[in-house]
């Protein structure tokens, strides 16, 4: 229990130290030591859990509730003021509604509800803490070098890096609190802090574009926060509990009984996970410095949304409207966001749409509500967090050194930045090629959909995965191309950035090698407890062993052939006779033509405006119908009906 509190409070303490630290050298030391301590503590907590098996923690200190309540009130006042100042009145309105509503509930009905365990640490929480503690800490180390370059490129502006690192560490502490809270009021408290942290980091540069996108993210997440608050009120007034574990137990024992509060909590998860029609906040967040994209919008914050939905899986399932709503929103988002990524050449936008799509697949797995689907969903969370963080950070380094984040400008990257190009290629391979974890997890999710008889979802995952293969292959082809006379620029990359890139590559490979171990020691026991027994996994043990063998073979081939070649240099074949410099060829009009490598982005077919319009309309209708049915169901219960 002490380790959990340490992982919440230590990053917050470090955040305040960094807020007053102005010198680069001091900041470098503090961040590196803090990151190492947080990563070590998260690993220690996991080891401690396997030794003791402790899960529930009472933590009955009334003053903690009042401190949280006071902080919530202060944050609400802050949001109301900045909303009015920037004429973003919807943000002020949401804060004015939900915070007083929840405080009123806590002081009245909620005060009389007994909460046996305020904190809860199970195997799913352990996975999330490891992601936050290891991947999140690595991102803060990467940010040291990146933000030096960022400040150099914005040398005429005030140095706000102390604030940037302050918010990053506040966020890490809040995320640990979120994934270990059993009391939903406590979880709500940390949930709102992550939303506000996102707002601050997206608006870091204080430009008009950054401010508008920051408020979009805040408003959409506050809308989800309102759904969260309504779910808490329903649980408290109707079911007399505030504990997530109790809700899940009832949902497992009595099918559909918790569908109404689960629908509102899942709505909060949908907004946080940037699912359609709320995906525009994550796309807008790409204006922020790259560590923000990696920390908040790839590896951790959006994972809070899918964590909520995966936890709620026993209360969902397509046999009730809550599960049907979640499944449909996730499936539509996965398909259309995958299509939208095809039309993008901006690398961060490709990563953003890919993130939205993969989160959609995880949401779908949670909505299905079966043990096999949840197994696949958690595996997707693990591999996506590691691999997508690697790609975001590689793109950030690439942008600072070649002056562009556009994929079409990455010609010759294999010559200009060979180490980074290799890291990016491993990251891309990790997203869609066998034997890496993302493809295997998608295979597992498709198996779960087939076993559940969800044929429409099988079609969605097939078409969405085909689109995924298309846009990743385009990018991979760009990186692997050799362009003559390319200037080597990798010498300017900060050592912190290279260290983090390399560590994430190692973690990508280790996660695949540990796939069977993760399943047998962590996921299967978790699912057996939650679902009261596990009839079958989405993938058999034999399939997982085959996958590991494939990885080992690839590594051995790399070790054996690396640097061993009898290559000979020959002129590059172009679209006509090579002029001799590998940069021009003799065209059809017998004139020299500069060669260029360009991809087809199919904007007319899969333009993001078109995909977002279709997806937004469909998912909005689904959410309105789903929540409407749940409200009708609630009224029926309150007027004396039965589920």
Tell me how many degrees the CA angle 274-276-277 measures, rounded to the nearest 5. Answer: 105
Alpha helices in 20-112 (DSSP H): 24-52, 62-85, 89-107
Give kind and range of the element (H or E) at residue 88: none
Rounded to whole angstroms, the Cα distance separating 99 from 243 reads 19
Least confident stretch, 9-18, 153-162, 571-580: 571-580
Q: What is the pLDDT of residue 432?
A: 87
- Token pair 């997982």 is found at 544
pLDDT at 447 over 90: no
- 348's tokens: 């961060």
From the number of C-beta atoms within 10 Å of its C-beta (0-12, 13-18, 19+), residue 114 rates as exposed
**Does residue 55 or residue 100 have the better pLDDT?**
100
Mean pLDDT across 75-90: 96
**Does residue 415 or residue 164 have the better pLDDT?**
164
Mean pLDDT across 496-515: 92
Rounded to whole angstroms, the Cα distance separating 460 from 154 reads 44
CA–centroid distance for 574 within its chain: 41
pLDDT at 539 over 90: no
Mean pLDDT across 562-574: 69
Closest CA to 144 of 397, 461, 323, 522: 397
Instruction: Report the helix count and the strand count for the chain, using DSSP H and E.
Output: 27, 5
- pLDDT tens column, 254-305: 767 889 999 999 999 999 999 999 999 999 998 999 898 888 766 666 789 9
Q: What is the pLDDT of residue 448?
A: 86
DSSP secondary structure code for residue 120 in this structure: E
Alpha helices in 417-494 (DSSP H): 418-432, 437-451, 455-480
Q: Are 493 and 417 in contact (CB under 8 A)?
A: yes
pLDDT at 564 over 70: no
Q: Are 327 and 356 in contact (CB under 8 A)?
A: no
Q: What is the pLDDT of residue 514?
A: 86
**First and final CA of the chain: distance in angstroms?**
38
Rounded to whole angstroms, the Cα distance separating 121 from 4 reads 9
Contact partners, residue 111, CB within 8 Å, separation at least 6: none
From the number of C-beta atoms within 10 Å of its C-beta (0-12, 13-18, 19+), residue 361 rates as buried
Please provide the average confidence, as pLDDT, over all residues in the chain: 89
Q: What is the pLDDT of residue 156?
A: 76
- 268's tokens: 């909060």
Radius of gyration of the chain (CA): 25
pLDDT at 344 over 70: yes
Rounded to whole angstroms, the Cα distance separating 273 from 312 reads 14
Q: What is the pLDDT of residue 297?
A: 67
Residue 342 CA: distances (Å) to CA of 46, 396, 613: 39, 20, 16
- pLDDT tens column, 264-278: 999 999 999 999 999
Band of residue 366 on the pLDDT scale cut at 50, 70, 90: very high
Q: Are 431 and 438 in contact (CB under 8 A)?
A: yes
Q: DSSP for 186-229, please give it.
A: HHHHHHHHHHHHHHHHHTTT--HHHHHHHHHHHHHHHHHHHHHH
Q: What is the pLDDT of residue 593?
A: 84
Rounded to whole angstroms, the Cα distance separating 106 from 103 reads 5
Mean pLDDT across 178-187: 96
- pLDDT tens column, 423-443: 999 999 989 887 777 888 888
Three-class DSSP labels, 265-298: HHHHHHHHCCCCCCCHHHHHHHHCCHHHHHHHHH
Per-state percent for the chain, helix, strand, coil, to nearest 5: 75, 5, 20
Least confident stretch, 38-47, 98-107, 134-143, 516-525: 516-525
Q: How many CB atoms lie within 10 A of CB 326?
A: 33
Rounded to whole angstroms, the Cα distance separating 503 from 140 reads 13
CA–centroid distance for 1 within its chain: 26
Sheet holding 577-578, edge to edge: 577-578, 584-586, 592-594
Least confident stretch, 47-56, 178-187, 364-373, 398-407: 47-56
If DSSP codes are grouped into helix, strand and coil, which group holds residue 56?
strand
Q: Are 364 and 311 in contact (CB under 8 A)?
A: no
Rounded to whole angstroms, the Cα distance separating 249 from 15 reads 37
Q: What is the pLDDT of residue 298?
A: 65
- 441's tokens: 């997890």
CA–centroid distance for 291 within its chain: 13
If DSSP codes are grouped into helix, strand and coil, which group holds residue 584?
strand
Contact partners, residue 592, CB within 8 Å, separation at least 6: 579, 584, 585, 586
Rounded to whole angstroms, the Cα distance separating 253 from 518 reads 27
From the number of C-beta atoms within 10 Å of its C-beta (0-12, 13-18, 19+), residue 600 rates as exposed
Q: What is the pLDDT of residue 551?
A: 74
Closest CA to 618 of 230, 333, 256, 268: 333
Band of residue 534 on the pLDDT scale cut at 50, 70, 90: low
pLDDT at 569 over 90: no
**Does residue 172 or residue 572 have the better pLDDT?**
172
The residues facing 594 across adjacent strands are 584
Closest CA to 466 of 615, 372, 602: 602
Rounded to whole angstroms, the Cα distance separating 608 from 177 reads 36
Rounded to whole angstroms, the Cα distance separating 272 from 284 reads 14
Rounded to whole angstroms, the Cα distance separating 178 from 188 reads 8
**Does residue 510 or residue 572 have the better pLDDT?**
510
Band of residue 543 on the pLDDT scale cut at 50, 70, 90: low
Q: Are 353 and 344 in contact (CB under 8 A)?
A: yes
What's the full length of the chain, in residues?
Answer: 643
Q: What is the pLDDT of residue 389?
A: 93
Q: Are 539 and 440 in contact (CB under 8 A)?
A: yes
pLDDT at 643 over 50: no
**Does residue 216 or residue 540 have the better pLDDT?**
216
Q: What is the pLDDT of residue 590?
A: 79
Q: Are 457 and 441 in contact (CB under 8 A)?
A: no
């Amino acid at each position: 229990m002490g380790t959990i509190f340490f992982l919440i409070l230590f990053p917050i303490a470090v955040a305040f130290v960094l807020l007053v630290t102005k010198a680069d050298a001091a900041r470098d030391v503090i961040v590196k030591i803090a990151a190492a301590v947080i990563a070590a503590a998260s690993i220690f907590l996991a080891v401690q859990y396997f030794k003791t098996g402790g899960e529930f923690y009472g933590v009955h200190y009334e003053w903690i509730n009042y401190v949280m309540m006071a902080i919530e009130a202060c944050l609400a006042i802050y949001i109301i003021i900045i909303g009015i100042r920037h004429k973003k009145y919807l943000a002020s309105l949401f804060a004015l509604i939900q915070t007083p509503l929840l405080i009123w509930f806590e002081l009245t009905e909620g005060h009389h509800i007994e909460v046996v365990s305020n904190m809860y640490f199970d195997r799913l929480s352990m996975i999330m803490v490891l992601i936050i503690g290891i991947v999140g800490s690595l991102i803060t180390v990467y940010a040291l070098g990146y933000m030096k370059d960022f400040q150099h490129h914005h040398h005429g502006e005030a140095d706000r890096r102390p604030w940037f690192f302050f918010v990053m560490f506040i966020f890490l502490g809040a995320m640990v609190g979120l994934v270990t809270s059993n009391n939903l009021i406590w979880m709500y408290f940390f949930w709102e802090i992550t939303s506000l942290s996102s707002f601050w980091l997206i608006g870091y540069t204080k430009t008009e574009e950054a401010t508008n996108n920051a408020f979009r993210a805040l408003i959409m997440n506050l809308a989800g926060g309102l759904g969260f608050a309504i779910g808490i009120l329903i649980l408290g007034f109707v079911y007399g509990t505030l504990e997530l574990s109790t809700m899940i137990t009832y949902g497992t024992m009595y099918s559909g009984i918790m569908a109404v509060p689960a629908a509102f909590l899942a709505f909060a998860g949908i907004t946080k996970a940037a699912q359609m029609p709320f995906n525009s906040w994550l796309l807008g967040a790409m204006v922020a410095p790259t560590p923000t994209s990696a920390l908040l919008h790839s590896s951790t914050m959006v994972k809070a949304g899918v964590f909520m939905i995966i936890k709620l899986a026993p209360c969902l399932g397509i046999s009730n409207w809550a599960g049907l709503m979640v499944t449909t929103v996730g499936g539509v988002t996965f398909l259309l966001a995958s299509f939208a990524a095809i039309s993008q050449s901006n690398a961060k936008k490709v990563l953003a749409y890919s993130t939205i799509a993969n989160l959609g697949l995880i949401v779908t797995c949670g909505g299905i509500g079966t043990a096999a689907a949840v197994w696949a969903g958690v595996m997707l969370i693990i591999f996506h967090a590691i691999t997508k963080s690697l790609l975001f950070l590689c793109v950030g380094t690439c942008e600072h050194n070649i002056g562009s984040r556009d994929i079409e400008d990455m010609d010759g990257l294999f010559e200009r930045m060979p180490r980074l190009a290799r890291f990016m290629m491993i990251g891309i391979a990790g997203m869609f090629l066998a034997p890496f974890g993302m493809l295997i997890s998608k295979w597992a999710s498709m198996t779960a959909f087939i076993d559940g008889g969800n044929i429409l979802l099988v079609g969605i995952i097939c078409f969405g995965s085909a689109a995924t293969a298309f846009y990743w292959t385009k990018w991979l082809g760009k990186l692997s191309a050799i362009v003559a006379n390319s200037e080597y620029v990798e010498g300017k990359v900060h050592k912190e950035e290279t260290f983090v890139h390399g560590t994430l590559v190692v973690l990508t490979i280790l996660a695949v090698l540990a796939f069977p171990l993760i399943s047998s020691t962590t996921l299967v026991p978790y699912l057996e407890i939650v679902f009261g027994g596990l009839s079958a996994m989405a993938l058999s043990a034999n399939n997982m062993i085959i996958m590991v063998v494939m990885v080992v073979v690839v590594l051995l081939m790399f070790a054996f052939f690396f640097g061993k070649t009898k290559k000979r240099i020959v002129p590059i074949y172009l679209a006509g006779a090579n002029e001799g410099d590998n940069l021009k060829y003799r065209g059809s009009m017998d004139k020299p033509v500069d060669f260029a490598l360009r991809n087809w982005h199919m904007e007319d077919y899969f333009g993001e405006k078109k995909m977002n319009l279709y997806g937004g309309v469909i998912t909005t209708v689904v959410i309105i119908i789903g929540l409407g049915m749940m409200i009708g169901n609630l009224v029926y219960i309150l007027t004396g009906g039965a589920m």
